Amino acid sequence: MSQPFKLYRLQQLDSQLDKISQRLNEVEAELQDDKDFQIASKRAESVDRTLQEKKKELKRAEENLQSQRSKIEQTVSTLYSGKVKNPKELQDLENESAALNRYRAVLEDRLLEAMMAEEEARELFRDANHDQNEQSTILNLSQNKLKKEKKGLQADLEINKEERAAAVGSIPEKDLALYEQLRIQRRGIAVSKVTNKACSACGTTLSATLLHAARNPNQITRCETCSRILYAG
């Protein structure tokens, strides 16, 4: 097995490892991303707080109206009890009863407004709660899918690491050092396959002399333009 081929095979393994590692990082980031669910949850919490406040306002409106009705009943009872004989006191009671009834009408309007506000808040809460449940379902399905993918990627990563370790063992230290240096300098691609008499990495057409050298299985030949190691196949 030629040294250029060994390095080319190592390049294939490293490129695959890079691809797997990049996807693992993406999957991990996606697993941490629950933005849509958090937005839906915060909205549901906010709407629920509004609903609870509207319920309290409705309860106060009901209590105020009930209290006003009790006052009216008490005033009317006194007015028609026959116990009050003084005309002025009777007039005062009638005036008070009329005022109480006028304010009762105000309280009834407020109660109606409170009921409508509470119903609107309840409807908003139902919508927000539905959206939260929907986002929770979407998140769970997505996370289960991502976790399954992550498990598969981790298994592939270990297999490729084992294959890489075996591949590295048969490569001379000098060639391996050159390969690793080029990997750093050339954005991860240290070995380029010769395709149609050209370097597939940079596209440079190889001279006849360089092409002949690249086909020699016993030597390392590098592209004159990008300096990558050439593998002629």
Position 41, amino acid: S
Task: Work out the average pLDDT over 54-75.
Answer: 96
**Res 85: pLDDT:** 84
% of the chain with per-residue pLDDT over 90: 93
Neighbours of 44 (CB within 10 A): 20
Average pLDDT of every residue of the chain: 96
Task: Work out the average pLDDT over 83-96.
Answer: 89
Q: Computed over its alpha carbons, how large is the radius of gyration of the chain? A: 41
- HSE of 85, CA atoms in CB hemisphere, 13 A: 0
Tens-digit pLDDT profile for residues 2-53: 899 999 999 999 999 999 999 999 999 999 999 999 999 999 999 999 999 9
**Res 1: pLDDT:** 72
Tens-digit pLDDT profile for residues 163-208: 999 999 999 999 999 999 999 999 999 999 999 999 999 999 999 9
pLDDT confidence bin for 88, thresholds 50/70/90: very high
**Res 161: pLDDT:** 97
**Res 229: pLDDT:** 97
